């Protein structure tokens, strides 16, 4: 009788431990899954910097255009009449935004492209200055780049009108070997 009592007590202890282990396991799995979901849902490698960090990193002109949505004066930009082979990157974070093959002479006074590198830029409605425009920002650092209009050449019919100050240029390997 004594023995049976003992084994029942032992058995319930065993059940309790088993229950505890299983629930710990389930909770761990749930936490892990949540973490995975969080990672999947997170925006792809957004660069977040404080305003003072941007001020320290960027030149005054870059800060004004990229962070304060400024615009350089027409026909003054470094890349307006620039037609070398290579890739244009965001001056704020180095994100590749335009290929030289898509650049064309629009005559508008700013560098113009008929297409952006996929997922490199984001569009936002911009109703400032009494105009309805589509603002273009860098998808990585949210820096202001310029605007996109519907009067571009084929194949897209788009004109990405971009501030030179918002970009840096990386010549292609072919160009570097010259
Ligand atoms: Fe950027």
Q: Are residues 131 and 63 in the same domain?
A: yes
Same structural domain, 59 and 34: no
Q: What is the mean pLDDT of the segment spanning 58-74? A: 97
Averaged pLDDT of the chain: 89
Establish whether 161 is a catalytic residue: yes
Quote the ligand 1 centre to 165 CA distance (angstroms): 12
Confidence category of residue 45, pLDDT binned at 50, 70, 90: confident
Tally of structural domains, the chain: 2
Neighbours of ion ligand 1 (CB under 5 A): 90, 92-93, 95, 138, 140-141, 143
Residue 137 and residue 107 share a domain: yes
CA of 117 to the centre of ligand 1 (A): 13
pLDDT at res. 29: 75
Residue 111's nearest CA partner among 156, 150, 166, 59 is 166
Q: Does 61 lie in the same domain as 31?
A: no
Would you say residue 58 has pLDDT above 80? yes
> What tens digit of pLDDT does each residue of 114-146 get?
999 999 999 999 999 999 999 999 999 999 999
Expressed in angstroms and rounded, the spacing between residue 88 Cα and the centre of ligand 1 is: 11
DSSP state of 108: S
CATH number at residue 67: 2.170.150.20
Q: Is the predicted pLDDT of residue 170 greater than 90, yes or no?
A: yes
Judge whether residue 175 has pLDDT over 50. Answer: no
Give 53 Cα–ligand 1 centroid separation in angstroms: 14
Q: Radius of gyration over alpha carbons of the chain, in Å?
A: 28
Residues 62 and 97 in one domain: yes
Q: Has residue 177 got a pLDDT over 50?
A: no
Range of the domain at 110: 51-177
- pLDDT-derived band at 40 (thresholds 50, 70, 90) equals low
Pair (27, 109) in one structural domain? no
**40 CA to centre of ligand 1 in angstroms:** 21
Q: Name the 3-class secondary structure at 164.
A: helix
Q: Assign 36 a pLDDT band (cuts: 50, 70, 90).
A: low
Q: What is the pLDDT of residues 71-117, one digit of tens each?
A: 999 999 999 999 999 999 999 999 999 999 999 999 999 999 999 99
DSSP states along the chain: -HHHHHHHHHHHHHHHHHHHHHHHHHHHHHHHHHHHHHHHHS-TT-----HHHHHHHS-HHHIIIIIH---PPTT--TTTT---SEEEEETTT--EEEEGGGEE--SSSS-EES---TTSEEEEEE-GGG--EEEEEETTT--EEEEEES---TTTT-EEEE-GGGEEEEE-HHHHH-
Question: What is the distance in A from the centroid of ligand 1 to the CA of 42?
Answer: 17
Check residue 25 and give its pLDDT.
Answer: 82
Which of 90, 93, 141, 161 is flagged as catalytic? 161
Q: Do 9 and 38 fall into the same domain?
A: yes
């Amino acid at each position: 009788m004594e023995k049976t009592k003992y084994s029942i007590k032992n058995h319930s202890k065993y059940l309790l431990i088993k229950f505890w282990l299983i629930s710990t396991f389930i909770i761990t799995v749930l936490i892990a899954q949540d973490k995975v979901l969080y990672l999947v849902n997170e925006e792809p490698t957004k660069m977040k910097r404080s305003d003072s960090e941007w001020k320290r990193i960027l030149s005054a002109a870059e800060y004004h255009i990229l962070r304060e949505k400024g615009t350089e004066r027409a026909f003054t930009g470094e890349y307006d009449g620039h037609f070398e082979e290579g890739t244009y990157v965001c001056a704020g974070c180095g994100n590749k935004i335009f290929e030289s093959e898509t650049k064309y002479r629009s005559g508008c006074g700013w560098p113009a492209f008929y297409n952006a590198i996929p997922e490199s830029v984001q569009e936002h409605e911009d109703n400032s200055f009494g105009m309805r425009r589509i603002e273009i920002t860098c998808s990585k650092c949210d820096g202001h780049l310029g605007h996109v209009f519907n009067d571009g050449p084929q194949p897209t019919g788009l004109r990405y009108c971009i501030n030179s100050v918002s970009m840096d240029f990386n010549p292609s390997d072919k160009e570097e070997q010259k």
